[in-house]
Each structure stands twice: as structure tokens, then as C-alpha cells.
């Protein structure tokens, strides 16, 4: 049977502090493009790979990580869009497009198909299925609607607001009639928030030495909903600004992932007087809402009421750098790696 070469990104070893290029390397193996006879496996060609902040946690050894650490010496994996080349599974056929968990390589043999979704429509960019129509989209949807139970007119703050999730939370909040302020780390991103995503206001947190007074300036009436992507001192500064019965969805804490010891939060006492809820969540608990989400979001995309900004790098060999870039905020919008366009 004919074998093809398969470029792969290998995870070298557990990381402490900021990950670098040197923590991953490229290799080339060979593989057959057929699934083993009698198996229920699916063989795919990877098209788009997703770089997501949660992947940093998998670079550290832990027995508690909710999806497990990467294995030193093995191929990285994560969300991707792929095309089925061969299938032993009744639900998938050659030619199908799917999104779900795949390898950081050109071709992947999937022995578990539980986390795969078939892509139902292709009149939107395929890469959207690792962004607005994939895990980050569902994260924004579940976190904002299910955890934050937003109401028209409420004051909403989103950190890391131009990222894969944040840009959507802000737009969802605007569609609902909330007042929305976002923060990001460059002028370019702040402009994007205001000009492209329609946030009511936005600021560059790196230019704000005093976050407490900054938040007071942007939210003189206080904050009803904080969609937290960063944790750390920003979360601590938000706590005393929360309004009565405020809600904080803790989606991620990217500011903390590369720290040896996390920053201490001193303002938690505020949550008593203001009766604030802080809720951590994982998108995997909400995938049952995916059809409902698609029904809501697809028309908005087609009518141009929701836009989605991606930061695209070409080539698997550039994937490590793209992933690392997340942690210094190098990406503008959702970080996508193009392995192949078809």
C-alpha cells in the first residue's frame, strides 16, 4: 500500500515559564492513507489547526489537567478542521469535512471519533470551525449566555477582548443591548474593538498603571458582567467594581499560565457585599447547546451582524511560533494555522 510522508510537530518536553520554539520540533514520518482493515478509525488530511491558550496548561506535567498533558516526544494535538480521506466508521465517509480534536501534522489517523463534528455547511470560511463556529464560539456562547445570564442594558466588561472568544462575547453583548467595554494589549487591537466589533469603548491595559482607577473611568456605574479571559491582577481590580448581583464568567487566566507562582488576589471580600457570582467553566460541558448556537449565529454571520477576525499563518512549520505568540499577544484575533487549503 502506498505510503506518504507526514510532517509533524513534536512536543519536546514539559515547559516552565513561557514556552519557546525550542519546546517543539518538526519531524517527518511516513504513513498509509488507509485505515487499518476492520477498524472504526477515520483517516483525515488536516486543513486548519487552532492555537488556543488552554494548550499552555497541557505543556506542564499534571495529573489533574482536564484533558491531560502533551506527551513528550509525541505529536501535539488540538482542535482542527480536516477532510476525511478514508473511514472505517459508519458516520464518516471519504470527502466529509469535520472539526474536532486532531494532530499537529499533515495526516491523522483518528481512532476515537467522539469529539468529531461533521461540518454541515461550507458557505462560510472553513477555518471558522476552529473559531466562531467551533470551540471558541461555543465558549463565548456558553460563558456569556449560560453563565452570565445577561440582560439588556447591563454593563459588560471583556478582557482579552480581541481574541478568539472575547471578540464574540463583545458582539453578543452588543446584539443584546448591553454597554460593552473591552481591553486588549495594543492600539491596533483597541481600534479593532471599537471600529470593527462595535464595542462602546475599549482600552489598552498595558498603558494603565492603575487598573482600579482605569475601570472606574470606564465603568462609573460599575460592572454587571465580567467575562474573564486573563485572571490575575485584572480580575482583582474588577472585583470591587462589580455591581450588586454581578456575574463573572471565568473562561481563562492567560496572564497566569506562564507564572511559576500565580498573582495573589486581595479583593475577594467584595463579592459578599455585592453578592457576586464567580463561575469557572469548561466549554465541553456545553456542547449539547451547539445546534442551538449554530441556529443563532449562522444567520448573524450571513447578515454581517457578527464578524470574526482571524490571524492566519501559513504552513505547519509555523505552527509552534503561532502558538507561542498567543502568550505575548502577538496574534490579532483568532490564531489559525493553515496546513492545507483543501
Instruction: Write down the least CB distance from residue 96 to its own copies, Å.
Output: 32
Cα gap 68→5, rounded to integer Å: 28
- Residue in the block written with cell 483568532: 334
Query: Is residue 66 close enough to count as binding its own copies by CB under 8 A?
Result: yes
Residues 205-244 that bind its own copies (CB under 8 A): 231, 235
Q: Which helix (H) or strand (E) holds 217?
A: helix 211-218
- With CB under 8 A as the contact rule, which of the stretches 72-80, 209-217, 278-286, 300-308 interacts with its own copies? 278-286
Residues 145-204 close enough to bind its own copies by CB under 8 A? none
Q: Cell numbers of 142, please?
A: 456558553
Q: In this structure, are residues 17 and 260 in contact, taking their beta carbons and an 8 Å threshold? A: yes
Nearer to its own copies, 154 or 236 (CB): 236
Q: Which stretch binds its own copies (CB under 8 A): 5-13, 196-204, 251-259, 287-295?
A: 251-259
Stretch that binds its own copies, among 117-125, 187-195, 279-287, 291-299 (CB under 8 A): 279-287
For its own copies, which residue of 74, 266, 299, 328 counts as binding (CB under 8 A)?
Answer: 266
Contact between 261 and its own copies (CB under 8 A)?
Answer: yes
* Shortest reach from residue 279's CB to its own copies, in Å: 5
Nearer to its own copies, 22 or 282 (CB): 282
Least separation in angstroms between residue 166's CB and its own copies is 16
Mapped onto helix, strand or coil, the DSSP state of residue 186 is coil
Which of 4, 22, 175, 282 contacts its own copies by CB under 8 A? 282
Burial code (b: 16+ CB inside 10 Å, e: under 16) for 292-327 equals: ebbeebbeebeeeebebbbbebeebeebbebbbbbb
d(CA 299, CA 166): 20
Q: Is 269 in the site for its own copies (CB under 8 A)?
A: yes
Contact of 8 with 27, CB cutoff 8 Å: yes
CB of 265 to its own copies, least distance (A): 5
Instruction: Tell me the three state secondary structure of residue 7.
Output: strand
**Which strand (E) or helix (H) includes residue 117?**
strand 117-118
Rounded Cα distance, 279 and 250, in Å = 6
Instruction: Kindly tell me the burial class for residue 340, based on how many C-beta atoms sit within 10 Å of its own C-beta (0-12, 13-18, 19 or more).
Output: middle
Establish if 68 lies at the interface with its own copies (CB under 8 A).
no
The answer to whether 262 contacts its own copies (rule: CB under 8 A) is: yes
Applying CB under 8 A, the span of 31-39, 132-140, 263-271, 287-295 interacting with its own copies comes to 263-271
Number of residues that bind its own copies (CB under 8 A): 33
Question: What is the rounded distance in angstroms from the CA atom of residue 110 to the CA atom of residue 29?
Answer: 16
Q: Which three cell numbers stand for residue 314?
A: 501559513
Q: Given the complex with its own copies, which of 241 and 334 has the nearer CB atom?
A: 241
Q: How far is the CB of 340 from its own copies (least distance, A)?
A: 33
Q: Is 315 left (phi over 0), alpha (psi -120 to 50) or beta?
A: left
**Residues forming the site for its own copies (CB under 8 A):** 64-66, 231, 235, 250-253, 256, 261-282, 285
Amino acid at each position: 500500500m502506498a505510503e506518504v510522508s507526514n510532517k509533524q510537530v513534536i512536543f519536546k518536553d514539559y515547559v516552565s515559564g513561557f514556552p519557546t520554539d525550542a519546546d517543539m520540533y518538526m519531524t517527518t514520518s511516513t504513513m498509509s492513507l488507509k485505515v487499518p482493515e476492520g477498524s472504526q478509525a477515520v483517516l483525515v488530511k488536516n486543513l486548519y489547526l487552532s492555537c488556543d491558550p488552554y494548550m499552555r496548561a497541557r505543556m506542564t506535567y499534571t495529573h489533574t489537567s482536564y484533558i491531560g498533558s502533551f506527551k513528550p516526544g509525541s505529536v501535539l494535538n488540538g482542535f482542527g478542521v480536516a477532510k476525511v480521506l478514508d473511514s472505517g466508521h459508519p458516520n464518516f465517509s471519504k470527502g466529509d469535512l469535520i472539526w474536532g480534536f486532531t494532530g499537529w501534522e499533515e495526516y491523522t489517523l483518528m481512532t476515537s471519533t467522539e469529539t468529531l463534528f461533521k461540518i454541515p455547511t461550507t458557505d462560510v470560511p472553513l477555518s471558522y470551525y476552529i473559531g466562531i463556529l467551533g470551540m471558541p464560539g461555543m465558549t463565548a456562547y456558553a460563558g456569556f449566555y449560560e453563565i452570565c445570564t445577561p440582560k439588556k442594558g447591563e454593563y459588560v466588561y471583556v478582557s482579552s477582548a480581541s481574541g478568539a472568544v472575547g471578540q464574540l462575547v463583545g458582539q453578543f453583548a452588543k446584539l443584546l443591548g448591553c454597554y460593552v467595554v473591552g481591553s486588549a494589549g495594543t492600539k491596533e487591537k483597541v481600534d479593532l474593538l471599537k471600529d470593527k466589533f462595535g464595542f462602546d469603548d475599549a482600552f489598552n491595559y498595558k498603558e494603565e498603571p492603575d487598573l482600579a482607577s482605569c475601570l472606574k473611568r470606564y465603568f462609573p456605574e460599575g460592572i454587571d458582567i465580567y467575562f474573564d479571559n486573563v485572571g490575575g491582577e485584572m480580575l482583582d481590580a474588577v472585583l470591587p467594581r462589580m455591581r450588586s448581583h454581578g456575574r463573572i464568567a471565568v473562561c481563562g487566566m492567560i496572564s497566569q499560565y506562564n507564572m511559576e507562582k500565580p498573582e495573589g488576589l486581595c479583593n475577594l471580600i467584595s463579592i459578599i457585599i455585592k453578592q457576586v457570582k464567580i463561575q469557572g467553566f469548561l466549554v465541553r460541558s456545553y456542547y449539547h447547546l451547539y445546534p442551538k448556537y449554530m441556529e443563532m449565529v449562522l444567520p448573524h454571520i450571513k447578515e454581517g451582524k457578527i464578524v470574526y477576525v482571524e490571524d492566519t499563518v501559513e504552513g505547519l512549520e509555523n505552527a509552534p511560533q503561532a502558538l507561542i505568540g498567543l502568550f505575548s499577544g502577538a496574534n490579532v484575533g483568532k490564531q489559525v494555522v493553515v496546513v492545507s487549503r483543501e
